[in-house]
Amino acid sequence: MKTVGILTALLCMLLLAGCEEEFPAETATQQTEDMITSMEAEPVLSYEVPKSVPGILVNQLGYTTGSSKVAVFRGREMPEQFYVKEESSQKIVYTGTLEIKKQDSVSKEVSCYGDFSAVISPGVYYIEAPILGRSYSFEIGEAVYAPLFDEACKQYYYNRCGMTLTEEYAGDGAHNACHTAKAVSQTDTSLTLDASGGWHQDEKGQKNMMTAARTVSTLLLAYELYPQVFSDNCGIPESGNGVPDILDEIKYEIDWMLKMQQQESGAVYAGVSVYAKSGDASSKAAEIYVEPISLDAGKAFAMALAKFSYLYQNYDTVYATNCLKAADRAWKYVELNENNKETDEWEFAAAAELYRASGQTSYSAHATRFLREKKYETVWNETTMLGCVTYLSTKHVVNTTYCENVMNYLMAKAEDISYVARDAVYFTAGTKEQDNDTQLLFEMMCLSVVNHIISNHEYETIIENHLHYFTGRNITAYNHISDPVGIMKQFESDAKLVVMLSGILYNGR
């Protein structure tokens, strides 16, 4: 528990340094999970253990040169030693000893670790051991995760709606502009509007505002924490324009979000649903509907637009200002029309963003109400966390006591995560052998935020261990990220993956 004390002290110092004159306010309501009606359920991934899982489990993508490298060995009988072999020559480059981690009294299965951190020469290797056979091949190199990071970022480009994706940028994913027909209002079929653009959230091309806002904000968080790892040459049409590609990509979604706001009132439509006429949702014959105005969509919109405005202002002041004005109009519409006086996490996050971006004190009251009541303790999710991080980082006057409470809460979360991970066979924060990837990604987002503030080596290792877990060092030796229905193909999970990878890339520099 000594660690906790030191961390808390560090945090307080940081807090005092960062919080001296800042505080946003927010309010939010909490319908996130229940509100998403237009999206398909998350794909059900099959985690059935294949018949021939290797007994030696590694990150199939590889390990960075200087990192700690551990393979997990499973079986009823364990050898004493293992060998790291170079793939091309099959020569042994390292001999290691196994260390027992866990013995299952029922299945008699033993889990062991083999540390081969000493292998630092770039190359392609595999691990072999008597009784167990060999592992999948993997690479050791300086930049083994860079292509994965670029690919995770580029998923949003592949999902662009309403524009032609050429082979030059989209490869096999090239297609003509989709969903370009006018959309019909669900509540008034005589009303049509242009709802094309933005990113598809699933195969059908559905676009839900709250999901869009949360995803945009998560990607912006990654950029905010680690701007250094985002390049201007990811191979999208905007590459090389002097703006980081991630911001260009997000702007494509923001352009669509702006279309979904009523000019006169500031109200925001809940999203776009698509019904295929001929089985092909992307065909011209698809019916496109705009879902009714929703206050929650308005709050989500205000959060994302204010956040984007703040982070984009150095690249295009005029556009950024328009975004902030749009966020403010959406906020005012919600205030005018909402009867519920409770502050939910969406209002909280929106108020925090609006306060940070504009400095107007009217917003901070909403944020501080949520913080005063410590609502984050009961509503701890992505939106709440996004609002908290923004409140902590605002340059305007904030309540230092609330800042400190939030920091302590974040620190406690990080300690909980590391406590579980220390004991887990696959070093993950889940309590079961097969965990819920969405939950693990959320935990890693949380740990990334804390690690960004206090730079804790143990947390860095835990985050990296989760990448090892996702890319093959797990009970099924299954790659959770690049599977055709894996993390990268899931609209929201991919953004959290970007947060996780951006930290790993930054720390590995």
- 8-state DSSP, 182: P
DSSP, collapsed to helix, strand or coil, labels residue 480 as coil
Count of chain residues binding Zn ion (CB under 5 A)? 4
Q: Which of 205, 244, 266, 486 binds Zn ion (CB under 5 A)?
A: 205
DSSP, collapsed to helix, strand or coil, labels residue 398 as coil
- 8-state DSSP, 89: T
Could you tell me which of 186, 208, 183, 187 has the C-alpha nearest to residue 196? Answer: 183
CB nearer to Zn ion: pick between 35 and 161: 161
Neighbours of 489 (CB within 10 A): 18
CB nearer to Zn ion: pick between 179 and 259: 179
The least CB distance from residue 173 to Zn ion, in Å, is: 13
CB nearer to Zn ion: pick between 114 and 205: 205
Q: How far is CA 304 from CA 216, 219, 496, in A?
A: 6, 10, 16
Asked if 213 interacts with Zn ion (CB under 5 A), we say no
> What burial class does residue 9 get, using C-beta atoms within 10 Å of its C-beta: 0-12 exposed, 13-18 middle, 19+ buried?
exposed
Residue nearest Zn ion (C-beta atom) = 161
Q: Which of residues 244-283 bind Zn ion (CB under 5 A)?
A: none
CB nearer to Zn ion: pick between 179 and 496: 179
Q: How far is CA 351 from CA 262, 304, 306, 327, 397, in A?
A: 20, 11, 9, 10, 14
CA–CA dist 408, 389 (Å, integer): 13
CA–CA dist 87, 457 (Å, integer): 31
Q: How far is CA 443 from CA 267, 430, 437, in A?
A: 33, 9, 10
CB nearer to Zn ion: pick between 24 and 198: 198
CB nearer to Zn ion: pick between 286 and 425: 286
The least CB distance from residue 161 to Zn ion, in Å, is: 3
Q: Which of residues 446-465 bind Zn ion (CB under 5 A)?
A: none
**CA-atom Rg of the chain in angstroms:** 24
Which H or E run includes 469?
helix 457-470
The least CB distance from residue 160 to Zn ion, in Å, is: 8
CB nearer to Zn ion: pick between 204 and 214: 204
DSSP secondary structure string for all residues of 119-166: --S-EEEEEEETTTEE---EEEETTTTHHHHHHHHHHHHHTB-SSPBP
The least CB distance from residue 177 to Zn ion, in Å, is: 8
The least CB distance from residue 243 to Zn ion, in Å, is: 24
CB nearer to Zn ion: pick between 286 and 450: 286
Phi/psi at 303 (5° precision): -60, -55
CB nearer to Zn ion: pick between 282 and 428: 282
CA–CA dist 101, 427 (Å, integer): 11
The least CB distance from residue 277 to Zn ion, in Å, is: 15
Q: Which span sits near Zn ion by CB under 5 A: 201-209, 264-272, 317-325, 395-403?
A: 201-209
Site string for Zn ion, 172-191 (x = CB under 5 A): ------xx------------
Cβ-based neighbours of 149, under 8 Å, separated by 6 or more: 229, 498, 501, 502, 505
The least CB distance from residue 308 to Zn ion, in Å, is: 21
Site string for Zn ion, 372-401 (x = CB under 5 A): ------------------------------
Q: Which of residues 144-173 bind Zn ion (CB under 5 A)?
A: 161
CB nearer to Zn ion: pick between 225 and 281: 281
Q: Which span sits near Zn ion by CB under 5 A: 27-35, 95-103, 202-210, 356-364?
A: 202-210
The least CB distance from residue 162 to Zn ion, in Å, is: 6
**Residue 463 identity (one-letter amino acid):** I
CB nearer to Zn ion: pick between 207 and 473: 207
The least CB distance from residue 250 to Zn ion, in Å, is: 18
The least CB distance from residue 119 to Zn ion, in Å, is: 47
The least CB distance from residue 163 to Zn ion, in Å, is: 9
Q: How far is CA 80 from the centre of its chain?
A: 40
Neighbours of 5 (CB within 10 A): 9
Task: Using CB under 5 A, list all residues that contact Zn ion.
Answer: 161, 178-179, 205
